[in-house]
Chains A and B, each alone.
Chain A
Amino acid sequence: DSGVTQTPKHLITATGQRVTLRCSPRSGDLSVYWYQQSLDQGLQFLIQYYNGEERAKGNILERFSAQQFPDLHSELNLSSLELGDSALYFCASSAGTGFAEAFFGQGTRLTVV
């Protein structure tokens, strides 16, 4: 168990809908990272938050947004969902701003039908 908790584990939804994925980092970690893993794109970095502030942005679509709350948990919001958004979404956390010693959650498998 990495200490990073993601909910839900599985999510099935229809195209055009909006979903929210939740991540609770390890105790004491200030950074949260979101990744998308799909068969055709591999692992893609989406976005990083550090202590409530956006730190780095990757290949995140405009339909997607994220935030980190004062209690340090993070949410990834995916809207106007398309079939191609079906993927495994991982959250990772680390103590500092860099990626050293980051730990991954179990992921949320999103299926868009």
Chain B
Amino acid sequence: ELKVEQNPLFLSMQEGKNYTIYCNYSTTSDRLYWYRQDPGKSLESLFVLLSNGAVKQEGRLMASLDTKARLSTLHITAAVHDLSATYFCAVVRSNYQLIWGAGTKLIIKP
């Protein structure tokens, strides 16, 4: 059974600091997604990672994928308050279902 674990589940940090969210998954998958969700809002796609060693960057966020280690990271550089949200990773199962991590609630304090 495919399981997806994120850590930490909660992160409070100061503006300007760097931090990394980790996403581990238990079985082989060929695709991993990162989503952002603001409170009470919908899910916004951030990154799709398709292959080992894939790295994608958008602004202060950078995601990477290591399929051998079954690990993806979402790195936040010089955090700003606007990045406060809950971040989810999700991994595709063979039948196209997405299995979701529990989410990391990120609070960035001014």
Contact = CB atoms under 8 A, between A and B. Distances in A.
Interface of A: 2, 42-45, 48, 55-56, 58, 90, 92, 97-107, 109
Interface of B: 31, 33, 40-45, 48, 88, 90, 92, 95-103
B43 A90 contact: yes
Contacts of A48: 96-97
Nearest to B101: A42
B97 A106 contact: no
Contacts of A105: 42
B42 A107 contact: yes
A84 B61 CA distance: 35
28 contacts: A42-B100, A42-B101, A43-B88, A43-B90, A45-B99, A45-B100, A48-B96, A48-B97, A55-B96, A56-B95, A56-B96, A58-B97, A90-B42, A90-B43, A92-B43, A98-B96, A99-B31, A99-B33, A99-B92, A100-B31, A100-B48, A102-B45, A103-B45, A104-B42, A104-B43, A105-B42, A106-B42, A109-B40
